Chain A
Amino acid sequence: MALDEYKPQKGGTEYDPEKTEFTFVGTRPDRPDGLDKVTGRAKFGADMSAPGMLHAAIVRSPHAHARIVKIDTSKAEAMKGVKAVVTRADFADDIPFKPGMGGELWNVLENVMAGEKALYDGHAVAAVAATSALEARDAAKLIEVEYEVLPHVTDVDKAMAPDAPVIRAGTRDRSVPEGFNENVVRYHESGHGDVESGFAEADLVIEDHFKTEATHQGYIEPHACLAMLGNDGKGELWCCTQGHWNVQKLCAALVGIEQSQLRVTASEIGGGFGGKTAVFIEPVALALSRKANRPVKLVMSRSEVFRATGPTASTSMDIKIGMKKDGTITAAQGTFRLQGGAFPGAPCEFTAMCAFAPYALENVHQVGYDVMTNRPKQAAYRAPGSPMAAFAVESVIDELCKQLDLDPIEVRLKNASKEGTKASYGPRFQRIGLVETLEAAKAHPHYSAPLKPGQGRGISCGFWFNHGGETSVTLAMSEDGSAQLMVGTPDIGGSRASMALMAAEELGIPYENIRVTIADTASLGYNEVSHGSRVTYASGLATIQAARDTVRKLKKRAADKWGIDEDAVYWEDGYAKPSGPNAGEFEPMHISKICAKMGATGGPIVGHYEATPEGAGVSFATHIVDAEVDPETGKTSVVRYTVVQDAGKAIHPTYVEGQYQGGAAQGIGWALNEEYIYGEDGRLQNSVFLDYRIPVASDLPMIDTVIVEVPNPGHPYGVRGVGETSICPPLAAIANAVSAAAGARLRELPMSPPRILAALEKQANG
C-alpha cells in the first residue's frame, strides 16, 4: 500500500449475516496450479525466453554517495556480441522533480538509473545487452565510470543530525517543521486527548528507546524480466511482479511511450512480500530492447537484490506509556524515526498510526519522521512500518505488566480496542476481532503450559489496516457450463484457489470446473498491485460480484426460454429454477444446458465487476512465543509458537494458516537474525544469503495457528485480509520472551547473539 493511498476505509459491499452456510468456502481443495508448481513447469520470471533474445547486465555504483563525473561506454560498445548500452540519457527527460511524494515518478526513475549522483552502494548507473549472459557481464566490467566520492550517512539518527551530509536538497515537503536537517523529508503527527494529564494519572510511567535494523523481504526469486520494445512505441513485457498494471504505468512513463501500448504479463511470482510492488530492472530492459531492437532478458543476482531492492526502513523509536495499578493505560506517546534510503517514502505515518491501534486510549500522541540516507530505496514489506512499532510499544507494555505484576493478556483485554473505539489514528473501529484473539490466546493450552528452566514466554498484539483498491474481474462461461475467471492480481500464495472457491460458491458448480487465469494488462481493466492484504478481500469481492452478474444473465436466459419474468427465476446449486407456483411449472435448467445454447439465445454469457472497494476490514492478531536463551553463546531458540489471528472468514483455511505461519517465520528472522550491515565505507557487507541469514528449517519449531472469524462488514462473506497482520506481533512477542528468559530487556533488533551477550553482561554488572 503506497503512502498516499491510505484513507480510513468504510462502505464497500455489505456483509450478509444470513449467509452462514457455505458449500465450497471453508473447504480445503488442492490449488488449481498445484501440478505446475510441483513438476517444475510453472513459469517464473526468469523462465521465459524469446527468439533472438539478448541478455543484459547492470553496472552499479560501489560508492554510497558519489557524483558521477563521466561514464565511458566505448570499450563495452566495441566488444563483440554487445548490442546496446544505456545510461540515464536513454530514459524520459520530462519527468519533474518535486518535493516529498509529489515527485514519486521522478524518484522511481532516479532509482532505476542514477542521474547526477549515485545515492547508495548498488545504485544502477548503466546497463548493457549482449548475445549471452556471460558476455553481458564481461561488457559491464568494461563500462568505465568516474566518480567523485561524497560524504555519506546510513544511520537514521546520524542522518537527522545538523551536520549530516544532505542526500538531496529540496526533497522535504511542507509537513516538516523548521529546524531539521534537510534529510528529514516528511513529518506526521496524530492522536487525541492530552497525554501530559494522562501521564499524571498513571501509577507507573515507562519511557524507553528502541532501534530496529533494515531487513529484506527475502523472496527466493530474484527480480527477472523479458522485454521487447520497438521504435514504433509498442512493447511486451514479461516479469515477476505483484502488480503488472503498475509496472505498465511506470515503465511506459519512464521510457516515454503510451501506457496502453505496453502489454505486461505477470509471470508466476516467487515471493514478493511487498518488495515486488516497484520497478527496478523492467524499464532498463525495455530501454535496452528498444536500442537493440531485440528482446532482452534481465535477471538480478542475489547480491543485486540485497543491494538495490526492497529493504524495510530501519527505525529509531521513543515510547512513553503510563499505566494504573489495575492495568489501565492512561496515556501513550511515540516518536518514530524511519530511514527509507535515498528517497522519500519510509512509512513513518503507518508506523505511527499502527503503534497504539490495539488499544482504546483517551490520551495518545504519535509523531513520525521520514528520513533519507545513503541506502537503497525502501520498499513495502508485509504491513510496512507496523512490526517495528509493535516491537517498541508491546515491549513497554510488557515491562509495565512485569513491574506492576499484571497478566499481559488481562492487561491487553482491559485496554483492547473494540467496535466503536476511537482508533489511535482517528476513525472509529467497525466490527473488529482483537478481544476474540486475546480470549482465544488466553484459552489456548500454550498460554498455560509449564516452561522449562532457561525459557521465557512472550506475547504481543499486532494490527494492520488492510486495503481494498482498484479491482477488475471478468467471468466468462463456456458452452459446457464450466467457467473462466480472469483476475488481475498475481497469485502469490494460493489465491487462485480462493477465487475459484468463491466463484464456485456463487455459481453452484464444482470448484474444479473453474479455471482461474491471471490476466495480462491487455485483457482486463486496471488492477492495483497485490498489496495491503487485498487480494482475497478485493479480488474475492469482485469475483463474487462478477459471478452474481453472470448468474443474473444465466437466469435471464432461462426466464426467456420459459417465457416468464427474470425476477421469477432463482438460482440454486447450478440450476435456474422457477421461484414459486406463480412463476409456472418448469424443470430446473442446469447451467450447462443454458450455456450450450448461449450463442442462439443472446450470445456469450460473461459477468464482470469493476470497483474500488473500500470496506477492507482491519485485522488484529495475538501471538504467544516460548524462547530459550543460551547464556554461553547468546543464541536464542524459539521452542514453541502460536499465532491467533482474525481472518473475518477463512475462504481456504489451509492457505490462511500458511499466511499465519509464514508471517511468524519472517518475524522470527527479523527479531533474531536478519539485518542490513553497513561498513564505515557505506557499503553493504552482507549481500548474500550466507551472511544475511533468513530462518532455515532447522531454526524453527512447528507454528501452531488459531483462525478467529469475526466477520468484516465490508465483504459479502466477511473476509478480512490475512497476509500482513501475521508479521506485526512476532518482533515484540519474541523480544518479550527473550527478556523473560534472559532476565534482561532487549531494545535493539535483531537480538543476535552478540547483542544478547552484551545485554546479559550489562545486566550482570548492574
Chain B
Amino acid sequence: MSKIHVTTTVNGDEVEFLCDSRETLLDVLRDRLNLTGAKEGCGTGDCGACSVEVDGRLVCSCLMLGAEAEGKSIATVEGIAEGEELHPLQKKFIEYAALQCGICTPGILVAAKNLLERNPDPTETEVRYWLAGNLCRCTGYDKIIRAVMDTAKDMREAS
C-alpha cells in the first residue's frame, strides 16, 4: 500500500513524514518522529496519556490519524519547556511530587498548560473536570491538582 505524504509543524519545527493511512498521530509522533513523550495508555481516548495540542486544541493523539496532521500545528510535551527553562507547571510538578511513576505526566502537563492558557484562574472543580480525561493511577490526583492550582496562582501574580 502506498503511503501518505504529510507536511506539518511539530513544536514549531516544520516536519515531513510518510505514513500508512491507518497510523494514528500518536504512532507517527512516537515511531516516525521519535517523539516518545506522548504515551499510549489505552489507544481508545480514555486515558489522556497521549494528549497533544493540535492548532491549540487539546486532543488525544491516539484518536487522530497521522494523515490528518497535514497543515496543522502540533504541540507535544517535548515543546513545553523553552530551552533550558522549564514551564512553571513542570517546575511545580517536580516540587510538589505531582508524579510518582510519571507515565501520565506528559499528557497531564499538556492538558494543564492548555487549561491555564484558556483559564488562568480555575477553581479546584474546574481543574478536576478539565483533567478528568487524564488518568493517573499513582497519586490520587491530590498533588496534581494542588500543583496546577498553585502554578496558576504564581503565573497570575507574575503577569
Contact = CB atoms under 8 A, between A and B. Distances in A.
B94 A34 contact: yes
B103 interface: yes
Contact of B140 (A36, A221, A688, A700): A700
A642 to B, nearest CB: 12
B44 interface: yes
Contacts of B55: none
Interface residues of A, number: 60
Contact of B138 (A34, A271, A302): A271
A6 B45 CA distance: 41
Given A39-B90, A697-B132, A220 B49 contact: yes
A46 B146 CA distance: 30
Interface string B27-44: 100110011111111111
B37 A665 contact: no
B32 to A, nearest CB: 11
Interface string A31-68: 10111111111111011010000000000000000000
Nearest to B146: A702
Interface in A649-697: 654-655, 657-658, 661-662, 664-666, 688-690, 694-697
B74 interface: no
Interface string A240-277: 00000000000000000000000000001111110000
B144 A658 contact: no
A634 to B, nearest CB: 21
B116 interface: no
Given A220-B41, A270-B102, A40 B76 contact: yes
Contacts of A40: 35-38, 76-78, 106
A219 interface: yes
A664 B146 CA distance: 17
Contacts of B104: 220, 270
Contacts of B54: none
Contacts of B146: 702
B10 interface: no
A666 B39 CA distance: 21
A219 B90 contact: no
Contacts of B90: 38-39
Given A220-B47, A220-B104, A697-B141, A31 B135 contact: no
A301 interface: yes
A222 interface: yes
Main secondary structure of the interface of A (DSSP, over half): loop
Contacts of A302: 41-44, 46-47
Interface string B98-137: 0111111110010000000000000001011101111111
A164 interface: no
Main secondary structure of the interface of B (DSSP, over half): loop
Contacts, number: 184
Contacts of A703: 140, 142
Given A44-B39, A700-B141, A30 B95 contact: yes
A218 interface: yes
A348 to B, nearest CB: 26
Interface in A682-720: 688-690, 694-700, 702-703
Contacts of A658: 97, 100, 138-140, 143
Given A38-B86, A661-B139, A697-B141, A221 B94 contact: no
A658 B135 CA distance: 16
Contacts of B37: 39-41
Nearest to A135: B20
Contacts of A694: 135, 137
Given A38-B86, A665-B140, A697-B134, A221 B101 contact: yes
Contacts of B154: none
* B105, B129, B134: residue with the most chain A Cβ atoms closer than 10 Å: B105
Contacts of B34: 49
Contacts of B99: 34, 37-38
A218 B94 CA distance: 23
A37 B132 contact: no
Contact of B142 (A41, A133, A134, A661): A661
A666 B100 CA distance: 14
B80 interface: yes
B68 interface: no
Contacts of A494: 97, 100
A594 B136 CA distance: 46
A664 B35 CA distance: 34
Contacts of A47: 30, 36
B138 A662 contact: yes
Contacts of B140: 658, 661-662, 664-666, 695, 700, 703
Interface string B5-43: 000000000000000101100010011001111111111
A691 to B, nearest CB: 9
A44 B104 CA distance: 11
A38 B142 contact: no
Nearest to B78: A40
Contacts of A698: 125, 128-129, 131-132
B102 A37 contact: yes
14 contacts: A34-B94, A38-B102, A39-B90, A40-B37, A47-B30, A219-B101, A220-B103, A271-B137, A493-B100, A494-B100, A689-B41, A689-B42, A700-B128, A700-B141
Interface of A: 28, 30-31, 33-44, 46-47, 49, 132-134, 217-222, 268-273, 299, 301-302, 492-494, 654-655, 657-658, 661-662, 664-666, 688-690, 694-700, 702-703
Interface of B: 20, 22-23, 27, 30-31, 34-44, 46-47, 49, 76-78, 80-81, 86, 90, 93-97, 99-106, 109, 125, 127-129, 131-146
Nearest 9 CB-CB pairings of A with B: A40-B37, A270-B103, A665-B140, A493-B100, A37-B102, A34-B94, A689-B46, A661-B140, A40-B77
